[in-house]
Amino acid sequence: MSEILLYKKPQKAVKILLIAICAVGVGLFIIYRETPGSFIYLVGWFNVLFFGLGIAVSIFQMFDRRPQIRISENGIWDRTTKQDQIGWHQIKHAYPLNIFKQKFVSLDLVDTFRIKKKPYKWASRINEFVGAQKVNLQVSQLKIDEVTLTNFINEIIQAEEGNRERIIKKYF
């Protein structure tokens, strides 16, 4: 049985790291130049502390080697959705979604699929407003195009079980 693992691209984490380092540098410059106790001095400390956390988060993201999406002949699992593996028979169809330059693959699931973590009502309304479903795979940080993943999902859900490995090899 073949299994495909999709990992994050480190480029976005590098961008965040560079921006955070620059902001920490500005904060340190402000701390050095201003008198202690002034408002600008406190803004400098806020910059250092807040963007210092950004440095830590970006370094963690850069070296995170856990797969975000796992694809097998049985289904698809995404670490960020907090769901169990979604079987191919549970997906009606998939479509790409672009929300403020963040790319998603929205999965229209059968009614019998049990969502493990119910979204808040305001989140459900936002999903409905933007045309998203209850389960959406974020692919903007992955090493795959959202249209390619959508085409793959739509093709594999229509295929018989014996042909799924061939389709996986075709796309990956």
- DSSP string of 107-139, one letter each residue: EEE-TTPPPSSPPPHHHHHHHHHHT--SEEEE-
The per-residue pLDDT for 76 is 92
Measuring CA to CA, how many Å separate 160 from each of 24, 29, 166? 55, 63, 11
The per-residue pLDDT for 1 is 61
Q: Name the residue type at position 86.
A: I
The per-residue pLDDT for 128 is 78
Cα–Cα distance, 116 to 140 (Å, whole number): 24
- DSSP 8-state class, residue 163: G
- DSSP string of 18-72, one letter each residue: HHHHHHHHHHHHHHHHSPTTSHHHHHHHHHHHHHHHHHHHHHHHHH--S-SEEEE
The per-residue pLDDT for 165 is 84
- Asked if 96 and 152 count as a contact pair (C-beta separation under 8 A), the reply is no
The per-residue pLDDT for 44 is 94
In this prediction the pTM is: 0.76
One digit per residue, pLDDT tens: the chain, 172 residues? Answer: 678 888 888 888 899 999 999 999 999 999 999 989 899 999 999 999 999 999 999 999 899 889 999 998 888 999 888 888 898 989 999 999 988 888 999 998 888 888 777 777 887 787 778 877 888 888 888 888 889 999 999 999 988 888 888 888 888 8
The per-residue pLDDT for 20 is 96
The per-residue pLDDT for 52 is 95
Measuring CA to CA, how many Å separate 122 from each of 69, 70, 83, 128? 26, 29, 20, 10
Per-residue tokens: 89 = 């028979």
